[in-house]
Amino acid sequence: MDQSIFEIVIVGGGIAGLAAAAGLRGPGRSITILEQSSQHREIGAAISLQQNASKILANWGLSDILRRYKGSRDQGFRVYNAQGEKVREIPLSRGTPDADRVVYHRVDLLDALKEAALSPGRQGPPAKLRLASRAVSCDCAAGSVTLEDGTVITGDLVIAADGIHSNLRKYVTGADVEAAPTGISAYRIVAPVETLNKDPDIAKVFDPAETWTSMVMGFDRRVIMGPCREGSLFSVVALVPDEHMHETSSSKSWTTQGSLEHLSESFNVFAPWVNKIFKAAPSLGLWQLRDLDPLSTWIKGRVILIGDAAHAMLPTMGQGASQSIEDAEALQAFFDDVSQKPTADQVEERLRETFMCRYERASLIQAYSRQQAQPATTRNGQSLTLDPVQFQDYSCKYEGAKAWTASRAVC
Ligand SMILES: Cc1cc2nc3c(=O)[nH]c(=O)nc-3n(C[C@H](O)[C@H](O)[C@H](O)COP(=O)(O)OP(=O)(O)OC[C@H]3O[C@@H](n4cnc5c(N)ncnc54)[C@H](O)[C@@H]3O)c2cc1C
């Protein structure tokens, strides 16, 4: 083994882990991703990357790869009241084509990031993905991770990207912090656009293939939807307070099935065309939404938490994945000068810089996401108090970790 190689171990092959691998690839580095699942597939739903994340991936030279995975460039938001009448249209200001808000199928985004991390032809050796490798503990000072089968894997830097139910979080923070239920559950649906197009009641309201995000806002529940995979699929997320759900149970996993009957009951005061969209779904998922309060720290010794493991947030601003990509970019920026095996002090110093850059911003976006989950209209449904582009500038006009750190130093 070459003793001068910078060994990076990433726990978790989700959006955060793969983005970190894609960003950190470079000469003199070896990256191993430890992923617990043996299949490594995402669930069937859409995910939006906001401008802040799209810009990072474009700056990394990933536009060609991403284009092959068929994202839909979003034109903006159309806001409807519960009666189904359009009350606002908010076009997004367009940046360069690769740095817009783009909606992907989650499977496609994961595959694109996997290609960026694992394929030859980009800088540095490809990262290695080890499936069926569940991490159960870590030693932060030694930079070692122990797998379920007892194997110990050691790196100069360990990135814990093991998601909302992180196993490694407690080794970093010193406390067993669990993501807590937020009181909201999300139904998720993906339906073929051609099925929706056949329904005249839906077609009267909008063309589901058009790349707009539509939001139907009730007092305490809402539906957020739009096309992905270049307009061939239509994705819907319907948020309902747990206390008003008609389901007998909800779960912390993506895999729970919801019931169409109960979903329709929850939205029976919404316009009939909204319920018709629900009925077009071949299947229905249900997820109890959880989030974290800001943690006391994300770093200890050679280990850093990123993504949902560090700052799980509600999906109301669509920033969870985008913040994960910002974490990855910060690591790339602060470790930019390290092309040989670093000392423990060098790693700790750069992790401190990464954490200082990211913590306040991600914590604020966590808080905004909670605030945006508050009732969106007055009780009689008359006026909309929620502005979907509120805070858009703060979250989306981000130019990377080093520029952010420099701008904070000036303030
Ligand atoms: C309804 C809903 C809609 C959303 N919509 C959006 C959106 O439009 N835009 C957006 O930006 N965000 C959105 N999000 C949030 C987004 O999905 C998450 O923030 C993002 O996926 C976090 O990525 P991650 O890699 O940190 O975690 P994950 O995607 O959960 O990945 C973690 C990975 O680690 C693996 N793993 C876990 N434990 C271990 C272990 N012990 N050992 C090894 N591997 C392990 C898992 O198998 C998984 O592959 C949404 C969330 C919800 C609930």
Flag whether pLDDT at 133 surpasses 70.
yes
* 135 CB within 6 A, ligand 1: yes
Ligand 1, atom 11, residue with closest C-alpha: 321
Distances (CA, A) of 312 to 201, 307, 369: 37, 7, 10
Of 52-66, 74-88, 149-163, 379-393, the range with the lowest mean pLDDT is: 379-393
Q: From the CA of 164, how far away is ligand 1's center (Å)? A: 7
Q: From the CA of 15, how far away is ligand 1's center (Å)? A: 6
Q: From the CA of 386, how far away is ligand 1's center (Å)? A: 26
Q: From the CA of 112, how far away is ligand 1's center (Å)? A: 15
The pLDDT assigned to 386 comes to 46
* 163 CB within 6 A, ligand 1: yes
In ligand 1, which atom is closest to the CA atom of 167? 41
* 324 CB within 6 A, ligand 1: yes
Q: From the CA of 34, how far away is ligand 1's center (Å)? A: 15
Q: Which of 300, 14, 356, 330 has its CA nearest to residue 157?
A: 300
Residue 322 in contact with residue 52, Cβ under 8 Å? yes
Flag whether pLDDT at 241 surpasses 80.
yes
Query: Ligand 1, residues 317, 324, 327, 366: which to mutate, most atoms within 8 A of Cβ?
Result: 324
Cross-strand bridge partners of residue 238: 187, 223
Mention every residue, 6+ apart, whose C-beta is less than 8 A from residue 399.
55
Flag whether pLDDT at 324 surpasses 50.
yes
Query: Ligand 1, residues 9, 57, 130, 162: which to mutate, most atoms within 8 A of Cβ?
Result: 162
The pLDDT assigned to 376 comes to 58
* 235 CB within 6 A, ligand 1: no
Flag whether pLDDT at 59 surpasses 70.
yes
Q: From the CA of 173, how far away is ligand 1's center (Å)? A: 20
Ligand 1, atom 41, residue with closest C-alpha: 135
The pLDDT assigned to 254 comes to 47
Q: What angle do CA 156, 160, 164 make, to 5 degrees?
A: 175
* 322 CB within 6 A, ligand 1: yes
* 285 CB within 6 A, ligand 1: no
The pLDDT assigned to 97 comes to 64
Q: Which of 87, 76, 65 has its CA nearest to residue 396?
A: 76
Flag whether pLDDT at 377 surpasses 70.
no
Q: From the CA of 233, how far away is ligand 1's center (Å)? A: 21
Sign of the torsion angle spanned by Cα atoms 275, 277, 283, 288: negative
Residue 54 in contact with residue 113, Cβ under 8 Å? no
Q: From the CA of 17, how far away is ligand 1's center (Å)? A: 10
* 16 CB within 6 A, ligand 1: yes
* 47 CB within 6 A, ligand 1: yes
Segment 88-110 mean pLDDT: 85
Q: How many CB atoms lie within 10 A of CB 384?
A: 17
Fold adopted by 180-291: D-Amino Acid Oxidase; Chain A, domain 2 (3.30.9)
pLDDT tier for residue 210 given thresholds of 50, 70 and 90? very high
Residue 378 or 181, more confident? 181
Where are the chain's structural domains?
6-73+104-178+292-410, 180-291
Residue 157 in contact with residue 51, Cβ under 8 Å? no
The pLDDT assigned to 245 comes to 66
Q: Which of 23, 24, 66 has its CA nearest to residue 47?
A: 66
Determine the Cα–Cα distance for residues 39 and 390; give it in Å rounded to an integer: 39
Residue 408 or 321, more confident? 321
pLDDT in tens, 290-308: 999 999 999 999 999 999 9
pLDDT in tens, 247-265: 555 444 545 778 888 899 9
pLDDT in tens, 18-42: 999 999 999 999 999 999 999 877 6
User: Which CATH superfamily is 6-73+104-178+292-410 part of?
Assistant: FAD/NAD(P)-binding domain (3.50.50.60)
* 258 CB within 6 A, ligand 1: no
Q: In what order do the strands lie in the sheet with 29-34?
A: 128-130, 29-34, 6-11, 157-160, 303-305, 299-300
The pLDDT assigned to 411 comes to 59
Flag whether pLDDT at 98 surpasses 80.
no
The pLDDT assigned to 381 comes to 52
The percent of residues above 70 in pLDDT, for the chain, comes to 91
Q: Which of 288, 308, 289 has its CA nearest to residue 298?
A: 308
Q: State whether residue 201 is helix, strand or coil.
A: helix
Q: From the CA of 398, how far away is ligand 1's center (Å)? A: 22
Flag whether pLDDT at 399 surpasses 70.
yes
Ligand 1, atom 52, residue with closest C-alpha: 315
* 318 CB within 6 A, ligand 1: yes
Segment 72-77 mean pLDDT: 91
